[in-house]
A and B are shown apart, each in its own frame.
Chain A
Amino acid sequence: QKEVEQNSGPLSVPEGAIASLNCTYSDRGSQSFFWYRQYSGKSPELIMFIYSNGDKEDGRFTAQLNKASQYVSLLIRDSQPSDSATYLCAPESNSGYALNFGKGTSLLVTP
């Protein structure tokens, strides 16, 4: 099993601040990286994916990838209380379909 490491948190940020969620992975063969958001008691939903080194922006979300450092992150700008959830990092596995999920980081955005 390839390792995917995330700080479990909780990460607490005030409303309007930038939340930074980090993930490291061990499988150098991973080419695609996915961020899922999971509200308590709900199913994971895909919010971002990134294939290339650098930054990818989508609204308030920015995914950052550094394959050399085996590091992927998710930035959430102007954090809202509705962003409070667990964020799961999921590099693609070498199977090309199964995702290797980290345990997730719990984010709490306080009003």
Chain B
Amino acid sequence: RKEVEQDPGPFNVPEGATVAFNCTYSNSASQSFFWYRQDCRKEPKLLMSVYSSGNEDGRFTAQLNRASQYISLLIRDSKLSDSATYLCVVNRPLTGFQKLVFGTGTRLLVSP
């Protein structure tokens, strides 16, 4: 089983739609969770950190369910510019350097 698993998609949605991605992780001791966004042929960039109580940043909402070991990302009112691959990232708990484990990503295509 992969440490971080995501549905690769693609998710094809029209502009204005709401779309949700899930991600599961295997290490119950993980404590840091992130969603990164990666545009085609570009570097990953942090979209948002994910906190236990859930957090929102504009149209984006992230949730963490520790009991079930999954993380979700909800995008409301999708824009064409939201088309990208969304990477779920979880830390592998160790002392010293924080090793991040990256999912393979979920691709989102928003069409007019």
Q: Do A and B bind each other?
A: no
A residues neighboring B (CB under 8 Å): none
